[in-house]
């Protein structure tokens, strides 16, 4: 059996939670969704947490409620395309800033050079689960009166100076995809302290309808359940109780599964620190990474991935910079750090259930590789 880059982490507890919902007679958005939202807000430390069917939906909705159409959003190209698709889907222009070479996160200095009078928002991505350097970013944003959206898809449980990722900007967006640190099978969460943002998100995520189905049918005994308004054209972005039930279990395990990820990362760092052709990304003093992905910079990257495959080990690339895709050609600009590093990026296997034998297999396979260029 091959060793994958990521592996879902479920057991009988999640199975039992799903069975309970299936037998309850209510599988749509309901009690479990409300419970997950309450628990997640308490965990992250925000006033509001609003469940979504994906992080992509959360990112789109965040920009929708801020209102960015016809303006610019400063963002990173070093991310999955959903981050920047959300900008285009909202009729805005992505303005790509460069990254820090030590973390692959967006550079505050580069942001400062991109912000102007047309900037409607700043979008940051906590790459691999390592928080961006948020103090200087928020300093720029606050000076200009610009909202900051955190793409925390990789960063459930990550901390910046003791504060949780997703509670540092105006809005946080999390992914609960099957392979993320916390999963609902698929899903997402939007976090904020702004009541007006939260209220608007509730409408946008459910067709613009002003009363949820659960409120109308279960909480109010079906009395006049047809009475509601539709005050804008919304979307079908809500989570259901099946996904939420899985999420409640997963949230309860998040600190322990993140600790297991950290143990794998520690082993990798120790094993590769003397390998001259590998450059490891650092964990800054201000950060506690969620260790979603373990990315190294390696010479002869493509041959290394082929070598790992021959050993039954998957290697990934996270990610090809978005500005190199044809759809983003009109928005290309000079990103020297991004472009110099992405051809060296290799994502090594990382998941909570990874056995010590699997970790040692990866280490051995990497160490025995001989690059043609150094």
Query: What DSSP string runs through 30-52?
Result: SHHHHHHHHHHHHHHT-SEEEEE
The domain containing residue 102 runs over which residues?
Answer: 12-252
Helix (H, G, I), strand (E, B) or coil at 347: strand
Are 138 and 275 contained in the same domain? no
Say if residue 95 is in the same domain as residue 74.
yes
Strands 287-288 and 171-175: unpaired
7 domain-assigned: no
Q: Of 252, 286, 320, at which residue does a domain stop?
A: 252
CATH number, domain containing residue 353: 3.90.1150.10
What is the rounded distance in angstroms from the CA atom of residue 192 to the CA atom of residue 179?
24
The verdict on 260 and 228 lying in the same domain is no
Q: Is residue 231 part of a domain?
A: yes
Domain end point (choices 252, 267, 295): 252
Same domain for 221 and 95 = yes
d(CA 303, CA 369): 9
Residue 220, pLDDT score: 58
d(CA 167, CA 150): 9
Please give the pLDDT value at position 337. 99
pLDDT averages per 10-residue partition of the chain, 374 residues? 95 98 96 98 99 99 99 99 99 99 98 99 99 99 98 99 99 99 99 98 91 62 69 95 99 99 99 97 97 97 98 98 98 98 98 98 98 79
Q: Compute the 3-state secondary structure of the chain and give helix, strand, coil in percent, each to the nearest 5.
A: 45, 15, 40
The Cα-based distances of 363 to 36, 349, 360, 367, 368 in angstroms read 38, 10, 5, 6, 9
Please report whether residue 1 resides in a domain: no
Output the pLDDT for position 63.
99
Whether 140 and 243 map to the same domain: the answer is yes
Question: What does the block give as tokens for 213?
Answer: 């189905």
User: Among all residues, which ones are annotated catalytic?
Assistant: 180
CA distance 192 to 45: 9
Distance (Å, whole) CA 160 – CA 166: 10
Looking up tokens 């949820």 gives: 212
Q: Domain check: are 119 and 207 in the same one?
A: yes
Q: ω before 351 within 30° of 0 (cis)?
A: no
Task: Tell me the per-residue pLDDT of 93-114, one tens digit each, with 9 for 90 and over.
Answer: 999 999 999 999 999 999 999 9
Domain identity same for 280 and 212: no
Using CB atoms within 10 Å of the CB of residue 2, give its burial: 0 to 12 exposed, 13 to 18 middle, 19+ buried: exposed
Model pTM score: 0.96
Which residues, including other chains, have CB under 8 Å from residue 24's CB and lie 6 or more apart?
A: 241
Report the pLDDT value the prediction gives residue 214, as an integer from 0 to 100: 63
Q: Per the domain annotation, does 347 fall within a domain?
A: yes
Q: Classify strands 159-160 and 287-288 as parallel, antiparallel or unpaired.
A: antiparallel
Q: Is 97 helix (H, G, I), strand (E, B) or coil?
A: strand
* 126 in any annotated domain: yes
**Same domain, yes or no: 271 and 220:** no
Please indicate, yes or no, whether residues 70 and 101 belong to a single structural domain of this protein. yes
C-alpha torsion 105→108→113→116, nearest 10? 100
- Whether 45 maps to a domain, the answer reads yes
Same domain? For 85 and 212 the reply is yes
Which pLDDT belongs to residue 176?
A: 99
Report the domain count for the chain.
2
Q: Is residue 77 part of a domain?
A: yes
Specify whether 315 is located in the same domain as 226.
Answer: no
Separation CA 66–CA 174 (nearest Å): 17
Closest CA to 195 of 56, 50, 63: 50
The whole-number pLDDT of residue 229 equals: 83
58 assigned to some structural domain: yes
CATH number at residue 101: 3.40.640.10
Same domain membership, residue 153 and residue 102: yes
Point out the domain boundary residue: 252, 267, 298. Answer: 252
At residue 109, the pLDDT reads 99
């Amino acid at each position: 059996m091959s060793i994958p880059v990521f592996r879902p982490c479920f057991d009988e507890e999640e199975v039992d939670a799903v069975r309970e919902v299936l037998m309850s007679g209510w599988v749509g958005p309901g009690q479990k969704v409300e419970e997950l939202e309450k628990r997640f807000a308490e965990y992250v430390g925000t006033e509001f947490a609003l469940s979504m069917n994906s992080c992509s939906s959360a990112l789109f909705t965040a920009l929708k409620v801020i209102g960015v159409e016809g303006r610019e959003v400063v963002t990173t190209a070093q991310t999955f395309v959903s981050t920047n698709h959300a900008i285009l889907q909202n009729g805005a222009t992505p303005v790509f800033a460069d990254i820090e070479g030590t973390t692959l996160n967006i550079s505050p200095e580069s942001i400062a050079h991109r912000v102007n009078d047309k900037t409607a928002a700043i979008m940051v991505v906590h790459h691999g689960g390592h928080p961006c350097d948020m103090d200087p970013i928020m300093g720029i944003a606050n000076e200009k009166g610009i909202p900051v959206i955190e793409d925390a898809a990789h960063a459930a449980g990550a901390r910046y100076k003791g504060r949780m990722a997703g509670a540092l900007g105006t809005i946080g967006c999390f992914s609960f995809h099957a392979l993320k640190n916390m999963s609902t099978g698929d899903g997402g969460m939007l976090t904020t302290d702004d009541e007006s943002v939260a209220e608007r998100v509730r409408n946008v995520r459910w067709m613009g309808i002003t009363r949820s189905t659960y409120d109308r049918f279960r909480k109010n005994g079906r009395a006049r359940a047809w009475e509601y308004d539709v005050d804008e054209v919304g979307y079908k972005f809500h989570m259901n109780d099946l996904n939420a039930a899985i999420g409640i279990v997963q949230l309860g395990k998040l600190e322990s599964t993140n600790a297991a990820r950290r143990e794998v990362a520690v082993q990798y760092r120790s094993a590769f620190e003397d390998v001259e052709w590998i450059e490891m990304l650092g964990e800054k003093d201000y950060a506690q990474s969620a260790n979603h992905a373990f990315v190294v910079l390696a010479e002869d990257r493509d041959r290394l991935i082929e070598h790992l495959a021959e050993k039954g080990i998957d290697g990934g690339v996270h990610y090809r910079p978005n500005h190199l895709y044809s759809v983003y050609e009109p928005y290309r600009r000079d990103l020297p750090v991004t472009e110099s590093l992405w051809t060296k990026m290799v994502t090594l296997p990382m998941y909570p259930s990874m056995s010590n034998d699997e970790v040692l297999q990866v280490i051995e396979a990497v160490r025995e590789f001989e690059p043609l260029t150094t």
